[in-house]
Structure 1
C-alpha cells in the first residue's frame, strides 16, 4: 500500500444545466447565518465565500416525526460551521448519503462526482489496489453545504490531513456498548480510558457519538505512521481489557464480544476508517449530535439525548468549541516517544 495525496481544484466538471434566476449576493463565510437558507421553496442558490451552491429538495422530510426537513439540516450546519470547519479542514471526506432522510436507505460514496462544482477541491489518495480516489475537501462553508445537500447527515473525515494521509495527527477510541451494557458503563469506561491515558502523559478529549457511545481523542504530534498509531491503540485497548475484563472488551469479532461489556474499539485507527466528526448530526430518531463534553459532564452523567440538532447551536454559543486544542499545533502528545 503506497498512499499518495494531493490537493487540486476540479477544473473539468460540468456546470448545472438548470437556468438560474437572480444571482444571490455573496456572503463571507464568517458572516453567514442560517437565514441564507430560505424558509420556503424547493430549491435555491446561495453564494458564500465567493462560491455559488445550488441546494435542492429543501422541503424533503429528513426526520418526519420531528418536522425536520433537509433545509433545517442545512441551517444547522450553517449555524455550527464556525466551530466545525476547522476540524474538517484539509481532510478527505467520505460521503455517507441519506437522500431520503435518517431512516431511509443510505450508501457510501468516496469518489467526487464529475458534476461537482469547479471550485470544489479534492484530495487524491492512492489505495492498496493502486486505485486513486479523489475525495472532496470541506474547507469552506460552500463545500460543507454542497456535501450536506447530497444527503450527508453526518460527516466522516479522514483521520490525517491531505498533505500526508499516512501520518495521523490524533489517535482515538470509539467506546461502544455491547448488548447488555448501558450508557452508564460507557461513561465508566471513558473515565477509565482517560485516567490511563493521563498516566502516559496524554491529555484526552471526549465527545458523545450521538449514536450509542463516546469517542475519546488524543491530539498527537504528526510523525508516526498510521500503522504505528493503530498498533499503539490496539495495545492500549487490550491493556484496558486486562485491567477490568468485567467492564471492557477489546474483541473486534462481534460474535466473540462478551455480553454487557464496552468495546474499546481501536480498529477505527486503521487505514481508511473514519468516525463521525465533531458536531455531526447522526441519523438517529432524535436527530442527536456528536457533541464535545467536559470530563466533569461525563462524571456527572451526561446522556446521548442531551444534544440534538435543535439545541446544539445554543450550547456552542454558550460554551464555544471545547475541542479547539485538537486544531492547534501546541499541546500535542509526541507518540513517537512511546514507540
Structure 2
C-alpha cells in the first residue's frame, strides 16, 4: 500500500461478474499510514476485497448508511465528511437498495442494501470509508434481528476498563444462553453483536438492551455507567450504550474502516483475545493477513439466534422498580 498522490488513470477492478471503475485511485485518504505517502482510494478497494466475505456477511440485506470522505480523511483543511443515507444517483443497476421511511421528515429514502461484494467496492469508488448498517434486514425493516451492545468509554476511561466491562458482558451473556460476537469499534470501545429472533419492535429491543446494561452496571458499579445524560456519568466509566438499538441508529460494521488517522478498522475478535489486544492492532494494513489466517470470526452468527423475551421481562421488572435507565416518557432524550 501507499502509492503516489499524483493524478493517475482510473483502474478497473473485476469483482465477481462485474467491473467497477475506480477513479482517482491514487487519492490519499489516510496520509502517513504505511510505507508511502499514505493509504489511497485503490488501497481501500483492495482492503475490502481482502475481507470481502466478512464485510458482506456484516452488511447483507441491511439498509446501510455511508460515511463518505470525498477528498480524503476528515481533518485535512477544507475536507468534509458526508453522512450518506440516500444512495447517490447514477448507481449501476446491480447495486441493490432498500426503501426506509423517516417519520421525522415524512419521507422514504433508498439506502444501499449490500448483497454482493461488488456493491461494497462501488461504495468505495463513491468515496465511502465507513459502512454503518441498520440492525434489521430488508425483509422486515421494522423488526430488528441484531442486538448491539456498545461499550463506549468516557474520556477518562482507559482500555483496561473497557476490557473489564467486556468480561462482565460476556459473563451475563453466557448466563442468558446468548452467543455474543465481539469486535473492536475501531475507535476506543468494543461492540458485541448478538443475533436475535426478529420478533420484537425496536422499542422493546431498546428496553431489553437497557435492562441488560443495568445488570452489567450492578455487577461492575465502579466501571459502568448506564444513565443517559453525559453530565451525570463519571468520565472514567464505560457507558453501556443501550440507545444504539433505537430505530435508525447505527454503528460501524464488522471490518469497516474508521475515519481516524491510523486507518483502524472495526475488527472481530475472539473473547480470549480481548485482554491481549489494543485497537491499533487492527488497521487496513494488518487486517488482510489476519483475515486470511482466521477467516470471518462472525461467519456463523446467524446460526445462534437469541430470544430476547427474558430481557424484556427484566425491562418490565426494572421499570416497575423505577430502575430503568431510559428517561421517562415526555423527557427530552434526543441527545445525551
Q: Quick check: TM above 0.5?
A: yes
Q: What is the match of residue 128 of structure 1?
A: 103
SS, match of residue 128 in structure 2: coil
How many angstroms apart in 2 are the aligned matches of 1:316 and 1:52?
24
- Residue in structure 1 matching 2:287, options 303, 312, 324: 312
How many angstroms apart in 2 are the aligned matches of 1:161 and 1:337?
23
Q: What is the match of residue 309 of structure 2?
A: 336
- The reply to whether residue 301 of structure 1 matches residue 272 of structure 2 is no
Q: What is the match of residue 92 of structure 1?
A: 63
Q: Which moved more, 1:97-106 or 1:116-125?
A: 97-106
How many angstroms apart in 2 are the aligned matches of 1:76 and 1:257?
38
- The reply to whether residue 161 of structure 1 matches residue 167 of structure 2 is no
* TM-score of the pair, normalised by structure 1: 0.84
Q: What is the match of residue 75 of structure 1?
A: 46
Instruction: Tell me the C-alpha RMSD between the 2 structures.
Output: 1.8
Q: What is the match of residue 252 of structure 1?
A: 228
Shift of the alpha carbon at 1:52? 3.4
How many angstroms apart in 2 are the aligned matches of 1:127 and 1:205?
29
How many angstroms apart in 1 are the aligned matches of 2:258 and 2:198?
29
SS, match of residue 154 in structure 1: strand
SS, match of residue 48 in structure 2: helix
How many angstroms apart in 2 are the aligned matches of 1:231 and 1:337?
11
CA shift digits 1:87-113 (9 cap, x unpaired): 211111101111122234202111112
SS, match of residue 166 in structure 1: coil
* TM-score of the pair, normalised by structure 2: 0.84
Q: What is the match of residue 25 of structure 1?
A: none
Shift of the alpha carbon at 1:301? 2.5
- The reply to whether residue 171 of structure 1 matches residue 147 of structure 2 is yes
- The reply to whether residue 113 of structure 1 matches residue 88 of structure 2 is yes
Report if aligned partners of 1:223, 1:336 keep a CA contact under 8 Å in 2.
no
How many angstroms apart in 1 are the aligned matches of 2:53 and 2:181?
20
Report if aligned partners of 1:98, 1:151 keep a CA contact under 8 Å in 2.
yes
Shift of the alpha carbon at 1:213? 0.5
Shift of the alpha carbon at 1:338? 4.5
Report if aligned partners of 2:53, 2:296 keep a CA contact under 8 Å in 1.
no
- Residue in structure 1 matching 2:189, options 206, 213, 225: 213
Pairwise mapping of residues 215-230 of structure 1 onto structure 2 (< 5 A)?
215-230=191-206
Change (3 A) 1:149 1:253: farther
CA shift digits 1:166-209 (9 cap, x unpaired): 11112011101101110110010111111112112212121111
- The reply to whether residue 55 of structure 1 matches residue 22 of structure 2 is yes
Shift of the alpha carbon at 1:211? 0.8
Report if aligned partners of 2:211, 2:311 keep a CA contact under 8 Å in 1.
no
Q: What is the match of residue 12 of structure 2?
A: 45
Shift of the alpha carbon at 1:337? 4.9
SS, match of residue 32 in structure 2: helix
Q: What is the match of residue 263 of structure 1?
A: 239
Shift of the alpha carbon at 1:223? 1.3
How many angstroms apart in 2 are the aligned matches of 1:154 and 1:48?
20
- The reply to whether residue 191 of structure 1 matches residue 158 of structure 2 is no
Report if aligned partners of 1:184, 1:301 keep a CA contact under 8 Å in 2.
no
How many angstroms apart in 2 are the aligned matches of 1:100 and 1:284?
15
How many angstroms apart in 1 are the aligned matches of 2:164 and 2:9?
46
Change (3 A) 1:247 1:317: same
Shift of the alpha carbon at 1:241? 2.1
